[in-house]
Structures are given as C-alpha cells and as structure tokens.
Chain A
Amino acid sequence: MSVNQNKIDNEDLIICRCEEISKKEILEAIADGARDLRGVRIRTRAGMGLCQGRSCEVLVRKIISQQLGTNLKELPPSTIRPPVRPIELRLFRGNNNDFKQ
C-alpha cells in the first residue's frame, strides 16, 4: 500500500486518531529505541485504541521504515490478537462442551 509522502511530513499530524498520537511522538519513540510497530505502540499508545491500529498501522510502518532505513517488507507485522473487531462481552456464552462433536 502506498502513502503520499507529502501528507505525512507535518510532525503535528495526528497519526493514531483513537489515541491522538502525533507524528512527533512516533519519531520520539523511534529515537528512544523502538524498532517496530510494537515498540512504537508501547511507547506512545499508537494502535492501542478502539481500532487496534487498523487505521494507523500503514502510516506508522511507513514512518519507522523511513527513520530506520529498513525495507517496509522486512518490518514485522504487529502482534495479531483476537478479536478481529470489537465485540460485546455478552457474546462469550456457552462453555467448552460446545466445541465437542
């Protein structure tokens, strides 16, 4: 996926909208030792909000790759954890026997 370069040059630009994290904060996280999506996530909360990084992940990857000079394809993906999208807790019904044939 490509990102228009000019659009992410502004350091005040909010990259993670769920947690309101700017590009500047992401750059600081990388300077502090973050090398991948998880490193940025734990230092800034980018990707820890309601959408779990589904919106900002592409942009954060791009910024990391620019800063560290790593190939975008070589950056590991973020840890995938269920659920794929927010679900109501009442849906966790039933018990383990439901899986048995």
Chain B
Amino acid sequence: MTLNNNLDAVVVGGGVIGASCAYFLTKAGMKVGLFEKGDIASGSSGGCDGSIMAQDHQPGYDTNLTIISNKMYKELLKELDWDIEYSEKGSILVIETEDELKFILDRMKQQLACGLPVRFVDKDELYQQEPLLAPGFLGAIECSSDAACMPIQVAIALVRKARSLGAEIHTFEEVNDVKLDKKGKISGIVTVEGEISTSRVINCCGAWAPFLGKMVSLDIPITPRRGQLVVVEQTAQVGHRIMCEAHYIVAKFHPELAEGADSDILKYGIAFNFEPTASGNMLLGSCREFAGYDTRTTLPAIRAIVQRAIHFIPSLKYLHCIRTYAGLRPYTPDHLSIVSQVDEVPGFYIAAGAEGDGIGIAPITGLLMSQIILGQKTTIDTYPLRWSRFSES
C-alpha cells in the first residue's frame, strides 16, 4: 500500500477504541491512517468478554457514558455491514445476603435516577426465570438494556467501514517513534515502513498506551490488569442473560463484608460473571490481577472462576471447558478512561484506560474524540475524562 504522506490524523492501536476513533474521524471527513503493530483486535479487544453493561457501574457519569454508548451501538448496527453479534439480552445481578440486598436496593434508586431500566426481581420470579440457579438466593436486579456483542467483530466491522470511507489501515506496522516540530507540536510518526507526516496522533494503545506516551515524554498512568476467562462448549445455554453477583459490587464499598471470603477469591479479584454468546458458547469470568504484560492463563485463577460459577449455577459442573484465555485491561488509578487532548504536546490525543469497559464505551469514545479534535460540542461533558486531572492532584 502506498503511504499517504500527509494524514489529518494518525490513530495508533487497532482495538475497539482505535477502530472507533478511526471510524468517527473518517466519517467526519478527515484523512485518517490507523497503525497497529499486530492484527486488528490482537490485544485486549481479543482477550475479553462482550458485555455492554451499565448495571455494574457506579451510578452517575460512568453509567451515563455506557447508556449513551449502548444506544450508539444500535445506530451502528444500521451503518456497519459486518455482524457484530449485538444482542440486548439484559442482565441480572444476583443477591445472596440481607446486607447485599439493602445496599443494592439503595443503589437501584440512584440507577433509576440515571434513567437505567432496572427493577428488583423477587425470589419467586427469579427462580421462575432462572430455574438452574442454585437455591437460597434472595432476588436480583434486572437491567433490560444491558447487552452483549463480539468485541473482535466490533473492531473488524469499524475498521472495514472506516476503510470503505477512505481510511488507510496499516496492520502489522508498528509505530517506532513520534516526531515533534521545533515548537513541540506533533509533526509525524516513524513506522517500520517509513515516515508519515501528520499534525495529530491519537494514542489508542490501551494497556500499551504508556509506551507511545514515552515517545513524546509523557508518563501515562495506565497499568495492565489481567482478566482471565473460561469458554464453555456449545450446548444448551444454562442462562440466556448476562449474570453477575451483587457481592462483588457491595464488597468494593464495604470491604468488611468481604471478610471470611475464600482467599483465592480476594487474591485474584474473582467475581461471578456469566455471558451466553451468539455462537452458543458460554463465557465464565471474571478476575482482575496485576501481572505485568503476561497474558497467559493460570490454574489457580481459572479454578477460582469456575468454582465461583458453579456456586451460582451448579449444573455447569457437567459442561466442558474448551478453552481459557486472558487479556490486559488498561487500568487507571481513578477507574475512568482518558479521552482528551494533551495540552503539553499539541496534536497528541489519548483515548485509552477504560479498564474493563472498553467494549461498552467504544462508540462514545470514538465520537467524543472526533468532537474534541474538530472542536465541536461534545455529546457528554468530557471534563471527568481529561488528561490534565493526573497533574492536578
């Protein structure tokens, strides 16, 4: 492919965030080049589940961001010509103890105030809906708008669409350096193929964002956080919605309630998460652990995930695990993504750090980035996502 030697914007990273930025910038009329060191979705977007979930988020800004993004997915379905396996299957948050119940019902009021379609499902209704759930649970919160998709296909679909609108897609082409002019503004990039001039670089490298940051002397506070998952064989799905546990959310705010829990659950940050996929498989998660850039799966964490899943759905015992996999979530200290320009390096932008929410907020992230670059009014206030927050404290 011949290199266009003057691009309006260079997107670095071919995961869902980079693909979304490339798509929305191209759609807005810019000449965009996307550069990715491997194939599309070869990093975290190829090592995660497909939940587009709002009910496990903090009520407020975080929830609003996902609500908007989820609505955008439905619009994207009309624009993309590649199946992303999107399905608004809904989710339930299963409640086990009286302490959890009280906390979760209070929280539900805040979620309703955000406009999230949540409701309490009592014990009788829960067991009617989910007969395979282990006995003894008190009820659940149902969120009818939560959805799932196939993240790899989301990235591929957005890249294909961006390409058809005129974007240059350079996979297997690593960016080795970012060039600045005499005034310290972005002037180009250097890849294994050569030099490309551009006045804008968008860092969409997720857990690898700090490496691109270093090329322009920025210290980006993103750390890789590993999540491991289990793929269950294609068979009668033991549940038709996303299922997760209330305990994990409660324990985040009331650590004393987590005392006495199995040590492996605490050690590997285990929380029950069940996702039936369009292919007929089921995914079991989740875990969160700091293990550098190691993307291998480990027996202790996988075992803890499986045991936690069986605690909720005992009949999983007799189904087969066909594969395990892991991915690196780009973790930021305040659990919020960075979607921002960087004032100290004019022309440098960051769209990274969504930790486990990258799939859910990919559409809104791409749209916001295009609005920031074009100086348009943003769909939602981007102040909480600003880069400068890290130097203010």
Total chain A interface residues with beta-carbon distance under 8 A: 30
Asked if residues B323 and A81 are in contact (CB atoms below 8 Å), the reply is yes
Asked if residues A33 and B171 are in contact (CB atoms below 8 Å), the reply is yes
B residues near A33, Cβ cutoff 8 Å = 39-40, 169, 171
Query: In the assembly, what is the distance between CA of A32 and CA of B302, in Å?
Result: 34
A residues near B152, Cβ cutoff 8 Å = 42
Smallest beta-carbon distance A28→chain B, Å: 12
Query: In the assembly, what is the distance between CA of A19 and CA of B306, in Å?
Result: 25
Smallest beta-carbon distance A67→chain B, Å: 15
A80, closest chain B residue (CB)? B296
- Please tell me if B237 contacts chain A, counting CB pairs below 8 Å: no
Query: In the assembly, what is the distance between CA of A52 and CA of B325, in Å?
Result: 13
B residues near A36, Cβ cutoff 8 Å = 39
B301, closest chain A residue (CB)? A96
Smallest beta-carbon distance B173→chain A, Å: 11
Residue picked from A19, A35, A43, most chain B C-beta under 10 Å:
A43
Q: Which of A13-27 contact B (CB under 8 A)?
A: 19
Query: In the assembly, what is the distance between CA of A32 and CA of B309, in Å?
Result: 37
Query: In the assembly, what is the distance between CA of A101 and CA of B320, in Å?
Result: 29
Smallest beta-carbon distance A44→chain B, Å: 11
A residues near B300, Cβ cutoff 8 Å = 96, 99
Q: Which of B263-312 contact A (CB under 8 A)?
A: 263-264, 267, 279, 297, 299-300, 302-303, 306-307, 309-310
Asked if residues B39 and A92 are in contact (CB atoms below 8 Å), the reply is no
Asked if residues A86 and B310 are in contact (CB atoms below 8 Å), the reply is no
Number of A-B residue pairs, CB cutoff 8 Å, is 85
**Contact bitstring A62-101, B, C-beta under 8 A = 1, else 0:** 0000000000000000010111001111101111100100
A residues near B41, Cβ cutoff 8 Å = 42
- Please tell me if B317 contacts chain A, counting CB pairs below 8 Å: yes
A residues near B324, Cβ cutoff 8 Å = 81-83
With A35-B172, A52-B323, A82-B324: A92-B318 Cβ-Cβ less than 8 Å: no
Asked if residues A92 and B172 are in contact (CB atoms below 8 Å), the reply is no
Asked if residues A89 and B39 are in contact (CB atoms below 8 Å), the reply is no
Asked if residues A89 and B316 are in contact (CB atoms below 8 Å), the reply is yes
Asked if residues A89 and B309 are in contact (CB atoms below 8 Å), the reply is yes
Smallest beta-carbon distance A1→chain B, Å: 23
Total chain B interface residues with beta-carbon distance under 8 A: 39
Asked if residues B320 and A86 are in contact (CB atoms below 8 Å), the reply is yes
With A42-B156, A96-B264: A89-B320 Cβ-Cβ less than 8 Å: yes
A36, closest chain B residue (CB)? B39
Asked if residues B302 and A90 are in contact (CB atoms below 8 Å), the reply is no
Specify which of A19, A35, A87, A95 is in contact with B262 (CB 8 Å cutoff).
A95
A residues near B309, Cβ cutoff 8 Å = 89
Asked if residues A86 and B156 are in contact (CB atoms below 8 Å), the reply is no
B residues near A83, Cβ cutoff 8 Å = 321-324
Asked if residues A92 and B306 are in contact (CB atoms below 8 Å), the reply is yes
Asked if residues B233 and A34 are in contact (CB atoms below 8 Å), the reply is no
B residues near A90, Cβ cutoff 8 Å = 310, 317-318
B residues near A99, Cβ cutoff 8 Å = 300
Extra 16 A-B pairs, beta carbons < 8 Å, given A81-B325, A83-B323, A96-B263: A19-B279, A32-B160, A33-B39, A33-B40, A35-B39, A45-B279, A48-B279, A82-B299, A88-B317, A88-B318, A88-B319, A88-B321, A89-B309, A89-B319, A94-B303, A96-B267
